[in-house]
Chains A and B, each alone.
Chain A
Amino acid sequence: MKVHVHVSLKPGVLDPQGRAIHHALEGLGFTGVNDVRAGRLIELDVADDTGDDDLDAMCRKLLANMVIENYRIEKLPEAVDAA
């Protein structure tokens, strides 16, 4: 099973990286960008019987730092065999 874990900074936590990206976008001439927040995508390939509790524990124990980050678990649909 393919799982995507999206890790992002909690609202209210200053994101220097997002701010720098924002400035760079403006420097490239893109107007109308109101805000930029940078996060992290972690792709997991786990056993099909991996439980939600285990996925949750992986996020809390390692993948996200709960002091500053939130996470969202997204289970991807099975890829359709092209053959």
Chain B
Amino acid sequence: MAFQSAVITFPGSNCDRDMAVALESVSGTAPHRVWHGESELPERLDFIALPGGFSYGDYLRSGAMAARSPVMKSVVAAAARGVPVLGVCNGFQVLTESGLLPGALMRNASQNFICRTVPLRVENSTSLFTSRYEQGEEIHIPVAHHDGNFFADEDTLDRIEGEGRVAFRYLEPCNGSRRDIAGILNQAGNVLGMMPHPERAVEDAHGGTGGRRLFESVVTRLVDA
């Protein structure tokens, strides 16, 4: 059966097309494009992506308004049913604001917008998003954000570390994130939020393909299942 995915577009999303191209390139099937005002998602979905950008102009806090938009109720319900949900950059901010992931993404410690390719370590290669990577592997994926400084209290950090929920870690200081955390999973393992942009590292023409196997992990899992 064809891979059924959805890319959600909020007003101000700007990586939704890149996400859709990456998903089609890896899965062979174009994703559904879903507008934020929709209250229902397509029926059978194998994957939902919340793309990067500046939803609602980052008003109030990055991701805050998008997290309260109509479509997010359906996304939260789908996540609870076990549908894999990936949030990249602004999508990660939406996931924390909606309560699907713990912590918060604050202004970069340097106050600067950071736009460059960064080295990451794959900290958990057993998740449905990372199974095609080697445990501890170093990969290179671009970041482009102003609010990527991951914050959670020490108890929460200890808990997510202990549960193997840190998916990716920066190999060098990037934005001030606590414990250099670049991406985290929810407890059930079907929601991943990350600041680096895997959809910008899928083809050789991108300058690197460090993100491609993330999409392959999701797609092959469903094809093999």
Contacts and interface: CB of A to CB of B under 8 A. Distances in A.
Interface of A: 13-14, 16-17, 20, 61-63, 65, 67-68
B107 A67 contact: no
Given A65-B97, A67-B104, A16 B176 contact: yes
Contact of B109 (A14, A65, A67, A68): A14
Interface stretch (B7-15, B40-48, B60-68, B127-135): B60-68
Contacts of A14: 106, 109, 151, 176
Minimum-distance CB pairs A-B, first 5: A67-B104, A68-B104, A16-B107, A16-B111, A20-B111
B96 interface: yes
Interface in B79-131: 96-97, 102-104, 106-111
Given A65-B64, A67-B103, A67-B152, 14 more contacts: A13-B106, A14-B106, A16-B106, A16-B107, A16-B109, A20-B111, A62-B68, A65-B61, A65-B104, A67-B96, A67-B102, A68-B104, A68-B106, A68-B151
Contacts of A63: 60
30 contacts: A13-B106, A13-B151, A14-B109, A14-B151, A14-B176, A16-B106, A16-B107, A16-B108, A16-B109, A16-B110, A16-B111, A16-B149, A17-B107, A20-B111, A61-B68, A62-B60, A62-B64, A62-B68, A63-B60, A65-B61, A65-B64, A65-B97, A65-B104, A67-B96, A67-B102, A67-B103, A67-B151, A67-B152, A68-B106, A68-B151
